[in-house]
Amino acid sequence: MDELPIGRRVAYWRGRRKLSQQVFADRLGKSKSWVDKVERGVRRLDKFSVLYEIAYILEVDVQLLLGKDPERRADALNCIDQVEVQEIRAALERYDSMSAYFDAAPFPPPLMDMRKAVNHAWLTYQYGRYGMLTRALPKLLRDAQAADAGHDGDHSREAAHLLGQVYQIASSVLRKLGECDLAWLAADRSMAVAQRADDPLLAGIATTRVCNAMVAMGRPRPALELNLTIANRLAPGGDNDSDPGRLSVYGLLLLQGAMAAARLGDSATVDDLINGAHEAALQLGSDQNHYWTSFGPTNVELHRAAAAVELGDGGRAVEVHRQRIAEPMFNTLLPERRAHHLLDLARGFAQIGDVANAGEMLLRGDRLAPSEIRCRPIAHEVMSDVLRRTRGAPPSLIAELAEHMGVGV
């Protein structure tokens, strides 16, 4: 398909998504005639902003529309650029709900469309496609804000719930890419919206996003305290049920509290919180994805290893990986979780001086979810360490990955 003109590629993917020209045009805010001319090559498609919007609606990487392989791009330095940062910032600075309080609400996007878009955004995140996600975020934020401002009555809670999820998605990917201030802003917004959605579990997950951003900004102690406060309120038992959603949210709060405690060097609290999360995971029975948490027994062990790395005990992290994480269960996790763990392992191996295995973990993570390795500042630090401590020339695969990452050999 690489040899096809771009308009033909658009037509191909539109057909794959079972969208008529009229429906596709409506979602783009264009006329059916405009779509027809683009697909026939009569009208040029040369604006990247329009290309990104088309890719978002068709649920494909924009590179596919350009006839390129999205997995082989040397685009580490373009995982998120300053133009995209400013577009996301502008979207986060909108106050549609307040404007609607004084004026007539805008025509809201249909909630069915929003549900599909939010679901796709979560999957894009959990498959580690951060560049694709950051390009789609500005429009998704605007649409979710318009839906929240424009729907009332029985639909208002669902609209708020969807907006809260979009803020959480934005916070998670922005934190990974090093935009910590914006990650905190998005997470803080998600907590406020979760209260309007009247969903304590959504508020619990929003708490973990806020606390992750706080830890990234060098504020682990208030992050630990907030995680524990909300975990205690949501804990199963008493008046609280023990359904899978509650167990997952409660367990994730404990795990994120453990990570904050690890940043403080408090190993005793780390052990207590991870063991508490382990008990919740055993009640759950298996790794699941309620509230997009990926919580379960295997994910608990991934956090046990990650906390060991934060505590500076790389040997313990490697031991946890080898002795406590069953490979078949690990392989059932989503790519972001697995690649994140391999990055933690790379850090652990580097801490014990095993730069060969550290490099191998980076390569394995890159094969799973390239953006998790190529786009994250912490991965660049590990690669720099591997290159600096490798005797002689680095292996060719490591050198190639370093080049893709923009890390000098």
> In the predicted model, is pLDDT for residue 405 greater than 70?
yes
Residues contacting residue 160 through CB under 8 Å, at least 6 positions apart: 148, 193, 194, 196, 197
**CA distance linking residue 132 with residue 96, whole number of Å:** 25
Residues 293 and 312: their CA atoms lie apart, in Å, by 26
Decide if pLDDT at 75 tops 50: no
Share of the chain above pLDDT 70, in %: 91
- The closest of 147, 151, 88, 149 to 118, measured between CA atoms, is 147
**DSSP secondary structure of 239-270:** TB---HHHHHHHHHHHHHHHHHHHHHT-HHHH
Q: What is the pLDDT of residues 119-168, one digit of tens each?
A: 999 999 999 999 889 989 999 999 999 999 888 888 999 999 999 999 99
CB-CB contact of 342 with 369 (8 Å): no
Q: DSSP label at 395?
A: P
**Residue 351: pLDDT above 50?**
yes
Mean pLDDT of 241-248: 96
Q: Is 105 helix (H, G, I), strand (E, B) or coil?
A: coil
Q: How far are the Cα atoms of 331, 332, 375, 378, 405 from residue 372, in angstroms, in the given order?
A: 17, 18, 6, 10, 11
Q: Looking up tokens 């986060």, which residue turns up?
A: 92
When the pLDDT of each residue in the chain is averaged and rounded to a whole number, the result is: 89
